[in-house]
Amino acid sequence: MVSDRIPSHGGSADPSDRQQSTLDGATADLEAVIAAGDAEAAEAVEAAFRRVGGLLGPAGERESAAVGPRLAALLPDTPPFPRAQLAMMVGACVERGADPVACADQVLAGLRGALSGALLLMERWKETGGGDLPDPDEDDPGLAHARIEDPDRLDEWHAQRAVVGWWTLHLWQMASFAVYSHAAVRTAARACGVTDVLLELIDRYGEGPHGLKGLVHLAKTLDDEPLLVLDRPSGTGYLLRMDGLTDNFQLHTLLADVLIGGGHLPGPPQDPEVVALSRTAELDGRRRVTAYGSFNLVAPDGTWIWNEGTPGDIPVVDGVRTLVLDPQAYERSWSAGRFIQQVPGDLRLERVLAPAEAADRLSRVAQAIPLEQAFR
C-alpha cells in the first residue's frame, strides 16, 4: 500500500512540532510556495515537503482525505523529482478516503509522463552502447543524464525528462495503483481514452525493471460489464454482469459458483471459501487454498480464453462480451484468490436466455481450436 511508503523527507519527530502544526496548515504552506512561483527554490520546496510528509504519516483518515485533492492539484507545478513523491502522498490520501476521481487526472498524467520518459531513456541507452540499464536504487541519475544527452539527438530538457521518468516510475506506479483501485476512476479513464494510452505505453515498456503487471490487470478491470455466456454441452445461455474482476481465474471460479452452484449447469460446486476469496474475502498468506476448474473458456471464434488473462480478453460480439463454455480438456487447479486483493469482485446472473435465443447464438460460434493448436 502507498500509505506504508509515505516519504517523510526527514520530517520532525518532535511531538511539540506536530502539536504546533496541522496537515492542513502544512498543505497551505506548500500551496503558497507553489503559487508564489518559488517551486524552483530547492530549500523552500524541501521545507514545505518536509512538513507535509512529516504530518501525513500520523494523520487521521479525515485529515488525509481532505488534503488529497489539494495535493493532487499541485502536481503539475511541482519540480520533477518532488512531484513523484507528492504523487505518493496523494495515493496515500486516496487509500485513506480522499476522493479518487478528484485526484486521478493529475496522477495518471504523471504516470504517462514517467512512462514516456522511461521509454526515451531506454531508447537512448541502446543508442549509446546498450548494456545494463541504470538501477534507480543504486545508480547516479546525473551520470545517466550525461550519457544520454546529445545536442544533436536529445537536448538537456528531454534528457532530464528521460532520467526523471526512469528514476520515478515506481512511485507513479504505486500512486496510480491507489487511484485505479476505484471503479469510478477506471470507468472515467477508460471512457476518455487515458487507459488505452497508458496500456500502449506499458506494452512498449515491456519487461522493464519495474514490474507493471499488477497495474495492467487493474487498468484492464471491467466494471458493470455485461457478459453473455453460452454453454455448448447443454445448449443454454446466460446473461451476467461483471464487476471488479481482475483475472480469468477469478472469473472462472465465479462462473462455476453462479451457474453450477445456482443449479443451472451440472457439476461439482465450488468450495465456499474459494468463492469468498474470489469476491471479497482476504487471503491468509500462511496457507494455500486450491481452486479447481469446471470448464474450458473459449472465444466465439474458437480460440481459448486463458485463465492467466483478464476478462478484457473476451471479445465483444454484437455489443456484448461473449464467452463459450466447453468441457475441460484437462484438469486444472490454481491458488484461490483475487490477483488484485484490494479490489472486490462480483458476478451476477441477470437472466437465462430463452432456448431459441441460446440456440441462435450458439449456431454462430465456432468449434474450439484443438489443444495442440492452442499451445502454438
- 247 with 358, same domain: the answer is yes
- 232 with 216, same domain: the answer is no
- 173 with 245, same domain: the answer is no
Cell 463454455 belongs to: 325
- 105 with 157, same domain: the answer is yes
Instruction: Answer with the residue of higher pLDDT: 336 or 40.
Output: 336
Nearest 5°: the CA angle 214, 287, 249 is 40
Whole-structure pTM over 0.85, yes or no? yes
Per the structure, the complete domain to which residue 350 belongs is given by 225-374
- 341 with 273, same domain: the answer is yes
What is d(CA 324, CA 316) in angstroms, rounded to the nearest whole number?
Answer: 12
Q: What is the mean pLDDT of residues 84-111?
A: 97
- 258 with 352, same domain: the answer is yes
- 200 with 245, same domain: the answer is no
What would the pLDDT profile of 119-152 be if each residue is shown by its tens digit?
999 999 999 999 999 999 899 999 999 999 988 8
- 330 with 244, same domain: the answer is yes
Q: Which of 121, 95, 125 is closest to 107 using CA atoms?
A: 95
Q: Which three cell numbers stand for residue 135?
A: 538501477
User: Pairing relation of β-strands 225-231 and 320-326?
Assistant: parallel
At which of 203, 220, 237 does a domain end? Answer: 220
- 46 with 140, same domain: the answer is yes
At which of 170, 197, 220 does a domain end? Answer: 220
Does residue 17 surpass a pLDDT of 60? no
- 239 with 124, same domain: the answer is no
What is d(CA 191, CA 201) in angstroms, rounded to the nearest whole number?
Answer: 18
At which of 178, 200, 220 does a domain end? Answer: 220
Q: Which of 161, 82, 172 is closest to 121 using CA atoms?
A: 161
User: Pairing relation of β-strands 316-317 and 320-326?
Assistant: antiparallel
The pLDDT value given to residue 231 = 98
The pLDDT value given to residue 38 = 61
Q: What is the mean pLDDT of residues 162-173?
A: 96
- 168 with 291, same domain: the answer is no
The pLDDT value given to residue 353 = 98
Count: domains in the chain: 2
- 86 with 173, same domain: the answer is yes
